[in-house]
Structure 1
Amino acid sequence: MNAYDDMSGLRLPPHSIESEQSVLGGLLLDNGAWERLDGQLTEGDFYHADHRRIFSCIAAMLDRGQPADVVTVYEALRAAGEAEQVGGLAYLNAMAQNTPSAANIRRYAEIVRGCRVRRDVMALGQDIAALAAEPSRANDTAGLVEQVTGMVMALADTRHAGREPQTIGELLPGVLDAIDQRMNDGGAVSGLATGFRLLDELTCGLQAGDLIIVAGRPGMGKTTLAVNIAENVALAGGAAFVVSLEMSAAQLAERSVARFGAIDTQALRSGRISQDGFTRLSAALDRLRNQRLVIADDPALASVARIRLAARKQSQRLGALDLIVIDYLQLMRGDGANRNDELGGITRALKLLARELACPIILLSQLSRAVEARPDKRPILSDLRESGAIEQDADVVMMAYRDGYYRPDGPLQGFAEILVRKQRMGPTGDVPLIFQGWHSRFLDADVRDFAAAKAKGEAPARETRRGFGD
Structure 2
Amino acid sequence: MIELHSIPVEQAVLCSLMDHEQGSGDYIEQLSESDFYATRHQIVFHHIKSQFNKGEAHDAVVIWECIRRNAMELQQCTEEYFTELSSTIAHFGLLNTHIKKLKDLSTRRRIHDVSKHIATVASDTLSYTSETAIEKAQALVSGLDGGVTESDTHSVSDIANDVLKDILDRHQKIHEGIEVKVGVKTGFIELDNKLDRIDRTDLVIVGARPSMGKTTFAQNIMLDLAVNQGEVVLFMSGEMSKEQIMERMISGLGQIPLKQVRSARFDAEGAAGIQQAIQVIQNCPIFINDKASPSLADIRREARKVKQKTGGRLNAIVVDYLQIMTPPEKSGNKVHEIGDISWGLKKIAKDFGCPVIALSQLNRSLEQRPNKRPVMSDIRESGAIEQDADIIMFIYRDEVYNKESKEAGTAEIIIGKARNGSTGTVRLATNLSQATFCDLSPEYYAEQGLGGGV
Fold agreement, TM-score > 0.5: yes
Aligned equivalent of 2:252:
259
Cα deviation 1:167-210 (Å, max 9, x = unaligned)? 65554334434444454454966312222232222222211222
Question: 2:218 aligned to 220, 223, 226, which one?
Answer: 226
Number of paired residues? 434
Distance 1:275 1:86 in 2: 93
* Contact preservation (8 Å) 2:28, 2:49: no
Q: Which amino acid aligns with 1:173?
A: N
Distance 1:381 1:432 in 2: 19
1:112 aligns with 2:105: yes
Aligned equivalent of 1:395:
390
SS in 1 for 2:206: strand
Aligned equivalent of 1:350:
345
Q: Offset at 1:375? A: 3.6
5+ residue gaps, structure 1: 1-10, 138-142, 456-470
Aligned equivalent of 2:427:
432
Which aligned runs of 4 or more in structure 1 are off by greater than 6 angstroms?
none
> TM-score with structure 1 length normalisation?
0.79
Matches within 5 A, 1:40-439: 41-69=31-59, 72-73=62-63, 76-77=66-67, 80=70, 81=74, 83-84=77-78, 87-92=81-86, 94=88, 96-97=90-91, 100-102=94-96, 107-108=100-101, 110-128=103-121, 130-131=123-124, 144-161=129-146, 168-169=156-157, 171-184=159-172, 186=174, 190-235=182-227, 236-299=229-292, 301=294, 303-318=295-310, 319-334=312-327, 335-336=330-331, 338-407=333-402, 410-439=405-434
Cα deviation 1:74-114 (Å, max 9, x = unaligned)? 55445553554895355455473286353x57744652343
Distance 1:327 1:184 in 2: 39
Distance 2:291 2:364 in 1: 28
Q: Which amino acid aligns with 1:312?
A: R
Distance 1:79 1:388 in 2: 54
Q: Offset at 1:165? A: 5.2
- C-alpha RMSD of matched pairs (Å): 3.4
Distance 1:114 1:314 in 2: 26
Matches within 5 A, 1:25-36: 27-28=17-18, 29=20, 32=23, 34-35=25-26
**Structure 2 CA distance for partners of 1:386 and 1:154, relative to 1, 3 Å:** closer
Q: Which amino acid aligns with 2:354?
A: C
5+ residue gaps, structure 2: none
* Contact preservation (8 Å) 2:204, 2:389: yes
- Between the two proteins, what is the percent identity of the paired residues? 33
Q: Offset at 1:262? A: 2.6
Distance 2:446 2:79 in 1: 82
> TM-score with structure 2 length normalisation?
0.81
**Structure 2 CA distance for partners of 1:362 and 1:310, relative to 1, 3 Å:** same
Q: Which amino acid aligns with 1:210?
A: D
Q: Which amino acid aligns with 1:245?
A: G
Distance 2:288 2:153 in 1: 37
Point out the more displaced range, 422-431 or 228-237.
228-237
